[in-house]
Structure 1
Amino acid sequence: MHYLITGGSGFLGINLIRYLLSKNNIKITSIDISDFVYSDVKSKINIIKGDIRNSVLVDKILSDVDIVIHAAAALPLYDKTEIFSTEIEGTKILLDNAKKHRVKKFIYISSTAVYGIPDHHPLNENDKLSGVGYYGQAKIEAEKVCSDYRNQGMCIPVLRPKTFIGPERLGVFAILYDWANSGKNFPIIGSGNNKYQLLDVEDLCDAIYSCCTLSSEIVNDTFNIGAKEFSTIKEDFQSVLDYAGYGKRIITLPEFPSKTLLKFFELLNISPLYKWVYETISKDSYVSIEKSEKILGFQPKYSNKDALIRNYKWYLKNYYKIKNKKGINHTSSWNEGILKFIKFFF
C-alpha cells in the first residue's frame, strides 16, 4: 500500500511517518516545501521537496498512490494569501488528481478551529462552523471542497483534531516549556477554570490509521478527535510546572486588559501570540469524541496531562539541539519577542 503524506516535514507529518513505518507492507512518499531533516527515517521513504499547489508535480506523484493523508497547511502566523492558497487551492489540486488516478482514500486533516468560539460544549460534528481568523476560515472552505469531491464518489474522511502535541512539537507550547525549564511562574489569561481539551499526536495517528484501514463505507464521514481525559487549563498546565520541580505556579491574568495588550503587540509584530491563541485560551474548548469512538474504535491513550508531560520530556531531552531553532511552524520555537521581557517579572 502506497501512502502519500502532504506536509511530511511537519510535526504531524514526521510522527505519522514514524507511526506508519511500524506497520507492514507500507510504502511512503512525503511532499513538503520544507527540507526533510529527520535522519532516522530519511532512507526509508521517498522524499519530494515540492509544493502541493504545483498541479503537474502532484499529478506525477499520485499516479501510483493508494491513500493520501493531507496534513499540509499554512499555519496562522502566515499571511492570508498563503493560508488560503495552500488550504483551498492546494486541497483542490490534490483532490483533482486523486480523483483522476482513482486514489482509494483521501484523508483530510482539518481542525476544530472550524468551530470558532462557540456558545456551548461539547461540540459535535454537525455544529455550526464559524472559523476564527484566516486559518479557521480556510479550513472551513477546504472542507467544502472535500465535500464536493465526496459527492462525486470519493472516499474522504475528514478529521477535526484538537490542538495536538507530542515529540517534535514546539511552536506556542515551547513558550510554556521554556518558562517551566527556567523556573518561572507561567501566566494565562482568565480564571484558568475553563476546560481546554488537547490531543496527543500518537492518538491522532491511531485515528488516521483507522480511517486508512477500515472500510470506505464506515469512514467516509467527518470526525472530531481529542483527548478523553482533560481538566481545567490551569490544572493541566500546572502539571508541567510541577514536573519541572521549581515549585512555580500558574498565574491568572484578567482578560481585560490582557487581550487588548496582546492584540496591540500582535499588530506591532512583537509577540508570537495570534488571535486564535489569545481569544480562545480563556474559553471552554472541547469536543465530543463519541462518534469517533463508536465508528472508528478510537481509544485515546493519553490525557491532557500525559500529553503535555510527554512533550515536555522530549523538549528537555532535545533542548540543546532545538533551543536555537526558530521559525513560525510547529516544529520550531517561536521568537518570544516582548514575552521574553515580560518573563523577567514572573
Structure 2
Amino acid sequence: MRSRPKRTRNGIARPGGRGCRSGSGRRSARARGPIGGKRPPPRPGRSPRPPPGPGRSPRRERDRARGLRNRALLRRLGRPGPPECAARRCRRDVRGLGHVWAERIVILVTGAAGFLGREVVRQLRARGATVRAVDMVEDAPPAEGVERMTGDLVDPAFCRAVVPGVQAVVHSAAVQFHTPGVPRFRIEPFFRRNAAMTRALLDASIAAGVRRFVLVSSDMVYGPPARPGLLREDAPTHPVGPYGRSKVESEAHARAARGRFEDVTILRPSVIIGPGRLGLLQKLFDMVRTGRAVPMFGPGHNRHHMIAVDDLARACLLALDRGTHGTYNVASQNPPTTREMLSELCRRAGSSSILMALPTPPLQLALRMLWSVRLSPMNPEQFLIAPVDYVLDTSAARNELGFEARRHDTDTMVDTYRWYVETLGDGHRAPSALR
C-alpha cells in the first residue's frame, strides 16, 4: 500500500518519512537520531552543540537562558518587572535616563529649595521622575512624587542617608555670596564647603551605586580671559576669588570619580537670571525704577553671557539624558553688549535713567579700596570681570547634549525686572545655598 505524503514545515515531503530528501524512502542516519545511544560526529567545521537539559528542547534552553539574563539585568538596574520586557527597557535605558522618566527612576536634586533647584525639580516631575529633594532649608510645600530631606551635605552621614535607591544626582547646592548667613567680607571658610560637600556626596553616591552624576559648576572658574575670544572648556582656569576656586576644586573631585560612575557631567553655566532671583541686579533695578543714572565700566561695548533658569534646568535634564564624561559651557545665544542690554531695559521699563560710562581702572581701584574697608557693593570676582568680554563657547553642549538656549538675555532681564517691580524688590526669594 502506497503511503500518503506527509506535510512538513517546508511543504510536501516525499514518502517514507518526514524531512527525507532522498528518493529511497528512508530517513538518513542523522535525521533518525542516535543509534545505539551514540550521536553521530558533528559535521566538519561545526562545534558540537551541548545537549539540552532533561526534558528540554534546545529552543527552550535558549529561552530559559535569555530569561535568566533579563532577570539579572533587572536586578542590576534595580527595577522589578517581567523578564519579557527587560530587553526593551535596556535598549531604551542605555540611551539615557531621559527615555525612562515614567518608570521607577529616582533622581536626587541638591539645593532643591533654591532658584535653580526648584526649576530642576519642576521639570523632572513634569517628565514623571520621582525626585528626592535635598536642601539645608525646608522652603517648599509637600508635592506628589517629591521626597524632601533637610540636612547639611558637608556631613558624610547625611550624604549616605540621602543616596540609597537613587539612580542619578543633580548636584546644584553651593554656598554663594548672597547665601543667607554668609558674611560678605569673611567668606573664604564658607566657600570651602562647596568642595567638601561635593566630595562627600560623590563618595556616598559611589558606595550606593549611583549611575549618573551631574555637577553644576560655574563660568567663574575661568577668571579674566587671558586673550580675546570665546572661552572654551579647555581654557586655563584662573579664578580670582573664593567662589571660583571652590568650583575648580569641586570639579577636580568630580573628574577623579569618573571611573566609578557611568557618567559624570560638569556644567559651567554663566550668570543665572530669571524672575525670582535678584542678587546684584537689585541695585540695578532700583536705579532703573527710580530714574537714576546707571554707571557702566567703560563705554559698555563688552559682552557678558547669561542664562535663563529654565534653560539651565533643561540643560541639567539633557545631561541626565545624554550624559557623558564631559564638561560643558551652558549659556544663552548671541549675548548683547552691556550698553545694548541696559538701553533696552530702560526703554522697555519706561525709565528716564541714562547710562553713565566711567573709566575702568579708577572705578576698579575705588571698588577695591571699598572692599578693603567692607563697604564695596561688588566683590572682586564681580568687578574684575565686569569690564571684559566674558563670552562662552557653547558648541560642545549644542553638539553633544543637544542644548540650545531658548531665552534671550535681554528678554529674561526684562522679565526679571517686571517681577521685581511687582514684588517691590523683596529680595532673593530662594534662601538656599545654590548657584
Interval of TM-score (by shorter of Structure 1 and Structure 2): 0.7 to 0.9
| Residue 9 of structure 1, CA deviation | 1.8
Q: Which residue of 1 aligns with 2:206?
A: 99
Determine if contact 1:177/1:240 at 8 Å carries over to the other structure: no
Deviation (angstroms), 1:270: 2.2
**Does 2:177 align with 1:69?**
no
Matching residue within 45, 50, 70 for 2:146:
45
Whether the 8 Å CA contact 2:173–2:434 is kept in 1: the answer is no
Partner residue of 1:342?
none
Which secondary structure does the structure 2 equivalent of 1:269 belong to? Answer: coil
Aligned-partner Cα distance in 1 for 2:402–2:126 = 20
**Whole-Å separation in 2 of the counterparts to 1:199 and 1:164:** 5
What code does the residue aligned with 1:190 have?
A: G
Matched, 1:28 2:135: no
**In structure 1, how many angstroms separate the alpha carbons of the residues matched to 2:143 and 2:294?**
37
Q: Does 1:87 align with 2:194?
A: yes
Q: Distance in 2 between matches of 1:236 and 1:257?
A: 24
CA separation in 2, counterparts of 1:300 and 1:44?
A: 28
- Contact 2:112/2:133, CA 8 A, preserved across alignment: yes
Aligned to 2:380: 275
Match of 1:18 among 122, 125, 138: 122
1:93 Cα deviation (Å)? Answer: 0.5
CA-CA distance at 1:327 after TM superposition: 7.9
Equivalent-residue separation in structure 1 for 2:355 and 2:341 (angstroms): 10
The question of whether the paired residues in 2 share the 8 Å contact of 1:228 and 1:300 is answered with yes
Unmatched tracts of structure 1, length 5 or more? 332-346
- The answer (yes or no) to whether the contact 2:278–2:428 under 8 Å persists in 1 is no
Q: Tell me, yes or no, if the aligned pair for 2:175 and 2:434 is still in contact at 8 Å.
A: no
State the one-letter code of the partner of 1:36.
E
What's the CA shift string for 1:171-201, capped at 9, x where partnerless?
A: 1112112221222221122221111111111
CA contact (8 A) 2:292 2:352 kept: no
Structure 2: gaps spanning 5 or more residues: 1-104
Instruction: Give % identity.
Output: 24
Q: Evaluate the alpha carbon distance shift between residue 328 and residue 16 of structure 1 in structure 2; reply closer, same or farther with a 3 A threshold.
A: closer
What is the count of residue pairs matched by the alignment?
323
* Letter matched to residue 249 of structure 1: I
The match for 1:115 is: 222
Distance 1:21 1:175, change over 3 A: farther
2:230 alignment partner, SS class: coil
The yes-or-no answer on 1:60 pairing with 2:161 is yes
Aligned partners of 2:427 and 2:249: how far apart in 1?
36
Q: Distance in 2 between matches of 1:203 and 1:223?
A: 14
The 1:15–1:143 alpha-carbon spacing in structure 2 relative to 1, beyond 3 Å, is same
Give the conservation status (yes or no) of the 8 Å contact 2:113–2:431: no
Q: 1:325 to 1:8 in 2, by over 3 A?
A: closer
More helix by share: 1
Amino acid across the alignment from 2:203: D
Is 1:263 equivalent to 2:371 in the alignment? no
Offset at 1:275? 0.5
Answer whether contact 1:194 1:233 (CA < 8 A) is retained: yes
Q: Which has the larger radius of gyration?
A: 2
SS in 1 for 2:107: strand
TM-score (norm 2): 0.70
Deviation per CA, 1:205-242, whole angstroms, max 9, x where unpaired? 1111101122x4xx221101111121211111222222
Between the aligned partners of 2:261 and 2:132, the Cα distance in structure 1 is 25
Q: Cα deviations across residues 90-144 of structure 1 (Å, max 9, x unaligned)?
A: 1110000111111121100011111110123201111111112111111111111
How do residues 1-346 of structure 1 correspond to structure 2 at under 5 angstroms? Answer: 1-24=105-128, 26-33=129-136, 35-39=137-141, 45-76=146-177, 78=182, 79-84=187-192, 86-118=193-225, 119-214=227-322, 216=323, 219-319=324-424, 322=426
3-state DSSP of counterpart to 1:220 = coil
Shift of 1:76: 3.9
Q: Assess if the C-alpha contact under 8 Å between 2:120 and 2:314 holds in 1.
A: no
Would the aligned equivalents of 2:276 and 2:429 in 1 still touch at CA under 8 Å?
Answer: no
Contact 1:36 1:42 in 2 (8 A): no
CA contact (8 A) 1:106 1:156 kept: yes
- Note the alpha carbon deviations across 1:298-317, whole angstroms, 9 max, x for none: 12111111121122122223
Q: Rate the CA distance shift 1:315–1:167 in 2: closer, same or farther, 3 A.
A: same
Deviating runs (4+, > 4 A) in structure 1? Answer: 41-44, 323-331
Paired AA for residue 37 in structure 1: D
State the superposition RMSD in angstroms.
2.2
